[in-house]
Structure 1
Amino acid sequence: MLYDLVFHRLICTTSIVDIRRARFQERKGPERMGRNRDERHRYGQHYTPVEVARLLAALSVRNPGDLVLDPSCGDGRLLEEAVARKREMSGRARSGADGFAQDVYGLDRSRSAVRLARGTGARVGCVDFFDVEPGARFRGAARLPAQFDAVIANPPYIRQEVMGAADKRRVEERLARDRARLADIFWPRWSGRSDIYVYFFAHSALFLKEGGRLVFLTASSWLDVEYGTALRQFLVENFRVIAVIESVAESFFADASINTAITVAEREPRERKREANQIRFVQIVKPLGEVYAHYGSASQFARAISSAAAPVPALTHRARLVPQGSLLDARRPREGSGWGKYLRAGDVFFDVVERGSARLKHLSHMARVRFGVKTGANDFFYLDNGAAQDEGAMKRLGDVASVRRGVTTGANDFFYLNSVEGRKRGARSLATVEDGTGARHLIETRFLSPVIFSLKDIGGVVIEPWQAKKLLF
């Protein structure tokens, strides 16, 4: 049986068990990074570097007894760091044999990933997150808690274009059931263009306690794109958004050239507390290794982020504080209302906007902004390095010919013919062509010239005559 690319349920015969940490330690290193790379990419899984995983754990685990869930645990990097963080907070060594892992849970669809993740000692189930509800029982004696203190995740990165209609419908049905169970939650209209990680945010709310913390590493596109509007609404209306973090020094994904961000939010049903909250937009300008050396540890850096009460122009990062109440109009978004500017724009931008607010207008109020003409002929316009650097082979058309408009008759159906096939008959070469009415004719090729009728017909910089789909008679 062929399972769908994006969502499918892996049926596991093994139960959720504990495996000694020593076995997990043996499997670190290249095996984890190279674990069935094709499988990981098929599921949209991207390896989380240890420095990033350590920061995620420090931001999510606040007490040694916290119940922690990773709904897309992969090979267990975040589970391992969550357990280590709990030990650290209890005053014990980061590694060792104890019961802290018993309060850490992981889910994943991949059997090979689950086998590795169980080496952390955490309780790991081989199951699709969207097939799971709080309190679900797995094969064996294990059962998920009804609610968690923290949900920590590096969700799959799968574009909506590769999600089949059946998959989207199944996720929509799951979120509809979640909405019925969470009557106190503001539920936006989710865009059909949303990538899969957006739905992980939504379904995770079902598993969080009041005050429970959600810490996600995802692509950062949701900060500004149209489909991210619903996610921004969902966060500001249901959570205290503690921080949004990105790095200009390095990617948070070790094996993907994707712009990423860490989102930290606490489940908060009280509107007054949400509106009074200050969101910390943090841009890291140094590699995390240097940042940890500066602060002493990942935990100290996480504490500095979470407790920042004023703008921070530090050597390692900068933080801009934005009142969450000022973003509550996300329910009525306008063009340009994305959050990326709070991470990336300099102070001068906000000074200009503030001082000139009486005179400045949105561009959409003065003009219609839209995409230009799209030809689809990327192979023609985007050259590889070799072709682009060979300047000697490129000349301006005006240097070699006089270009002017010819005689126009309007009889395109007569002069522009569709090539059907060519053949030899004696000394003559003949071509079967089709005119605009659909009639076919046999014409000598010496009377036909190849012509590019549309840029979409261009497959590259060099076009051979036989590649032309149209012929000029």
Structure 2
Amino acid sequence: LDRAAQTLCYVLSNRIIFYEAIRVRQPGLPKLAIPPRIADGEAAYKHFQRRFQQAVEATGDYEPLFHPQEQKDWAGPLIFRSPGALDAWRAVLRSVEGYNLRTVPHDVVGKIFQRLISPEERHKFGQHFTHEDVVDVINAFCIRRPDAVVLDPSCGSGSFLVRAYHRKAWLSEQPSAAPGEGRYHKSHQELLQEIFGCDIALFPAHLATLNLAARQIEKEENYPLIARRNFFDVDRGQPFCQVPGARVGKHREMRDVPVPEFHAIVGNPPYVRQELIPRRDQRAPVSQTKEYLQQLVSDAWPGLELSGRSDLHCYFWPAACRFLRDNGHFGFLTSSSWLDVEYGFPLQAWILCHFKLIAIIESTDEPWFEAARVKTCATILQRCRDEAKRMDNKVRFVRLKKPLAEILGERPNGDESARQRAADELRKLIEGTSKDYSDENLRIIVKSQRDLWDEGVAAARVIEGRKHAQPEMVSDGHRQRMSDYGGGKWGRYLRAPDFFFEIMREFGRQFVKLGEIAEVRSGVRSGCDGFFMPHDVTQWALSECPDPLSFKSRFGCRRDEVAACKLKIVKAGDGSVHPIESEYLAPEVHSLMVIDRPV
């Protein structure tokens, strides 16, 4: 309930600032003040709605942002009902009035919206701020032309979409992009009609709409194509979203926007562990259940069967690529775990069977999310139906040794051209590398896509005991089937030390895979990591309780035995602490985030 109330406050705050930004260009609009006669929440809410309706009528625009005619909105008035709420909102309005938004650049107004919500609250809403540098690099790989139609299926506050807006505008001004002689500058309306975003949550979708509309506040027909819905419900047979169309009286009729074929799909899908994805027998909308998601991707891509242990982001890949045109590009920033774990193997097979894997980029020097809890990587794909071209493709595994900002170099604040050129230069360096390369900024390991496929097929034969089985063949000698692929440990191409590759280049032919000379099988899976993988909190316990009596009372054992390392104090997954004999414990790695060297 508290989070819902905060969301409503954030949304109203955004509308207030947007109203004031419009008012400096529409002097006839009245100030947003709450008259003294208004003494209850219902009246205050209706007062704001009337003002927002006036803004829509004065501009002929912005109805999707203000929603002045919302029906059955029982929650809106709640933010005015608590004692002192009206006085607090009056103070907010006086504060906003003190700023001269006429002198504020449009892009700064957009940043105001983004900063209204703190990093802590963004985390609560499931939104992670993605730094513009990594967004620009992903967009540079995926958005190659000014008329590219772009989709972010989980757009959040719109980081990828806003940067896509700027990239497309910049591309349209390049001489090579001009449809005729001279340069061609795409209008604000043209750019908005080629950028699509979707988010299931109200506030992020609202924020993305505002961030895009704020690029040119004074323009008419300012309708960002943002759908506030579950992306897994999006289908070609239904409109992607609705925007105002022809004017009828004081209002506009809503116009359906169909789902197009996209040139580029980019984004940072939500990271939700598989345990938190509801099942069909739990109380949840059907289209958010694990069974529905598995069936959706299987129907869209026959042969693809994602594991029940897949994190939520894994379903976004195939679901989004249903709408990617041939030769279109795809770029996601996600957890890196799919590179090496079993639930990622079907995703690998799907990639190799339908795409050119252009590059996988990971940084060892910086997290790409604030308060990152997992390693992240950027994956770049290109849709390709030609198996021979896929097999011959060179895959670049890129390890960044420095912060991305240092690699991109100095770019004056506000110089959009410098930002785009720097991202393009890094893209060209990566794509132009045809053999292993390393310098002080990055390391690139180059593998053919055929090698990745062959390694995965060989792994399947060894693990499943099919050493003598032959994959189905066709006349050209190749026939890819996802079921033939076992899996690959792709993370080693990003994280293995240099000497590993030196040894393999020199002596690789003399090595054999362990599975070829010994039986390889899975170890014991407890299904209860919280119990079997506790955290050692011995040092914390000793410093917390220096007194022997209080130590024994709190932890159930003698302090001197713990200090002598006969016992350890461990913290289980449920947060409880327990003493256990040291001989029964062994060190283990909880997360790759704590590893900075081979172990």
TM-score, normalised relative to structure 1: 0.72
Is 1:136 aligned to residue 238 of structure 2? Answer: yes
Could you tell me whether the CA contact under 8 Å between 1:240 and 1:268 is conserved in 2? Answer: yes
Q: 1:234 aligns with which of 347, 350, 365?
A: 350
Mapped to 2, the partners of 1:254 and 1:110 lie a distance apart of 20
CA distance in 2, matches of 1:174, 1:457: 34
Pairwise CA distance, 1:345: 1.3
Other structure's SS at 2:402 match:
coil
The count of corresponding residues between Structure 1 and Structure 2 is 390
Separation of aligned partners in 1, 2:530 and 2:198: 40
Counterpart of 1:350 in structure 2 is: 501
Structure-2 residue corresponding to 1:311: 436
Contact 1:214/1:266, CA 8 A, preserved across alignment: yes
Deviation at 1:136, TM superposition (A): 3.1
Q: Over residues 416-462 of structure 1, what are the superposed CA-to-partner deviations in whole Å (9 max), with x where a residue is unaligned?
A: xxxxxxxxxxxxxxxxxxxxxxxxxxxxxxxxxxxxxxx99994246
| 2:348 counterpart SS class | helix
Match of 2:475 in 1: none
**C-alpha distance in 1 between matches for 2:575 and 2:170:** 61
Find the partner of 1:383 among 537, 560, 572: 537
**Counterpart amino acid of 2:375?**
N
Inter-partner Cα distance in structure 2 for 1:152 and 1:328: 25
2:385 aligned partner, one-letter code: P
Measured in 2, the distance between the counterparts of 1:203 and 1:457 equals 35
Query: What residue number does 1:172 align with?
Result: 294
Structure 1 letter corresponding to 2:494: L
Matches within 5 A, 1:235-314: 235-293=351-409, 297-314=422-439
Q: 1:28 to 1:379 in 2, by over 3 A?
A: same
Shift of 1:380: 6.6
| SS, match of residue 173 in structure 1 | helix
Say which of 55, 71, 77 aligns to 2:159: 77
Structure 1 residue identity aligned to 2:490: W
The offset of 1:308, in angstroms, is 2.3
Residue 105 of structure 1 is aligned with which of 177, 184, 196? 196
TM-score (normalizing by structure 2): 0.58
The yes-or-no answer on 1:163 pairing with 2:277 is yes
State the match for 2:452 in structure 1: 327
Residues 225, 388 of structure 1: alpha-carbon distance in 2 compared, 3 angstrom cutoff: farther
Q: One-letter code of the match for 2:514?
A: H
1:52 aligns with 2:134: yes
Task: Provide closer, same or farther for how the CA distance between residues 375 and 269 of structure 1 changes in structure 2, counting only shifts above 3 A.
Answer: closer
What SS class does the counterpart of residue 145 from structure 2 fall into?
coil
What SS does structure 1 have at the residue aligned with 2:155?
Answer: coil
Please identify which structure carries the higher helix content. Answer: 2
Check conservation: 1:210, 1:269, Cα contact below 8 A.
Answer: yes
Distance 1:51 1:325 in 2: 31
Q: Distance in 2 between matches of 1:272 and 1:457?
A: 51
Over 3 Å counting, the alpha-carbon distance change for 1:94 and 1:85 in structure 2 is farther
- 1:90 counterpart residue number: 172
Secondary structure of the 1:47 match is coil
Cα gap change, 1:91 to 1:357, in 2 (>3 Å)? same
CA drift at 1:347:
3.4
C-alpha spacing 1:129/1:35, structure 2 compared with 1 (3 Å) = farther
Q: Which amino acid aligns with 2:195?
A: V
Q: Which amino acid aligns with 1:327?
A: L
Check the 8 A contact 2:205/2:226 in 1, yes or no.
Answer: yes
**8 Å CA contact 1:87, 1:94 repeated in 2:** yes
- Three-state SS of the structure 1 residue aligned to 2:510 is coil
2:132 aligned with 1:66: no
Contact 1:47 1:255 (C-alpha < 8 Å) held by counterparts? no
Deviates more, 1:89-98 or 1:326-335: 89-98
- d(CA) in 1 for partners of 2:371 and 2:195? 26
Tell me if the contact between 2:136 and 2:423 (Cα under 8 Å) persists in the aligned partners. Answer: yes
Which residue is 1:118 aligned to?
209
Assess if the C-alpha contact under 8 Å between 1:33 and 1:47 holds in 2: no
After TM superposition, list the pairs within 5 Å mapping 1:149-228 onto structure 2: 149-166=263-280, 167-179=289-301, 187-228=303-344
Of 134, 148, 155, the match for 2:262? 148
Unaligned 5+ segments in structure 2 are 2-61, 68-104, 175-183, 214-223, 243-253, 281-288, 411-417, 464-486, 549-558, 567-571, 581-599
Contact 1:84 1:94 in 2 (8 A): no
Deviations 1:346-376 (A, max 9, x none): 3321343451543444168436562498885
Q: State the secondary structure of the residue aligned to 1:297.
A: helix
Q: Relative CO higher for 1 or 2, CA cutoff 8 Å, sep ≥ 6?
A: 1
How far apart in 1 are the matches of 2:151 and 2:573?
A: 49
Of residues 273-282 and 362-371 in structure 1, the stretch that sits farther from structure 2 once superposed is: 362-371
Matches of 2:205 and 2:152, distance apart in 1: 12
Deviation of 1:87 (Å): 1.1
Q: Identify if the C-alpha distance between structure 1 residues 54 and 343 changes in structure 2 by more than 3 Å, giving closer, same or farther.
A: same
Question: Match of 1:265, SS?
Answer: strand
Q: Which residue number in structure 1 is paired with residue 251 of structure 2?
A: none
Q: Which has the higher strand share?
A: 1
Change (3 A) 1:109 1:269: same
SS of the equivalent of 1:301 reads helix
CA distance in 1, matches of 2:128, 2:565: 51
The answer to whether the 8 Å contact 1:106/1:123 transfers is yes
Measured against aligned partners, the alpha-carbon deviations of 1:398-424 in whole angstroms (never above 9, x if no partner) come to 9899xxxxxxxxxxxxxxxxxxxxxxx
Q: Is the 8 Å Cα contact of residues 297 and 304 (structure 2) preserved in structure 1?
A: no
Say if 1:300 and 1:18 are closer, same or farther in 2 by CA, change over 3 A. farther
1:99 is paired with a residue whose SS is helix
Opposite residue 78 of structure 1, the aligned amino acid is F
- Superposed CA RMSD: 3.8
Q: Which amino acid aligns with 1:77?
A: S
Q: CA deviation at 1:61?
A: 0.7
State the partner residue of 1:405.
Answer: none
For residues 49 and 293 of structure 1, what CA distance do their matches in structure 2 show?
Answer: 15
Aligned-pair distance for 1:133?
1.6
- Write the distance in 1 (CA, Å) between the matches of 2:65 and 2:396: 39
1:373-410, Cα deviation, whole Å (9 max, x unpaired): 88854697521652266898754589899xxxxxxxxx
Deviation at 1:332, TM superposition (A): 5.5
**How far apart, in 1, do the equivalents of 2:510 and 2:363 lie?**
34
CA contact (8 A) 1:377 1:459 kept: no
Gaps of 5+ in 1: 2-13, 180-185, 402-454, 464-473
The residue aligned with 2:577 is: 460
- The amino acid of 2:274's aligned partner reads Q
8 A Cα contact 1:243 1:264, kept in partner: yes
Structure 1 residue 325 displacement after superposition: 0.6
- 1:16 shift after superposition: 6.0
- One-letter code aligned to 1:101: L
Distance in 2 of aligned mates of 1:132 and 1:79: 18
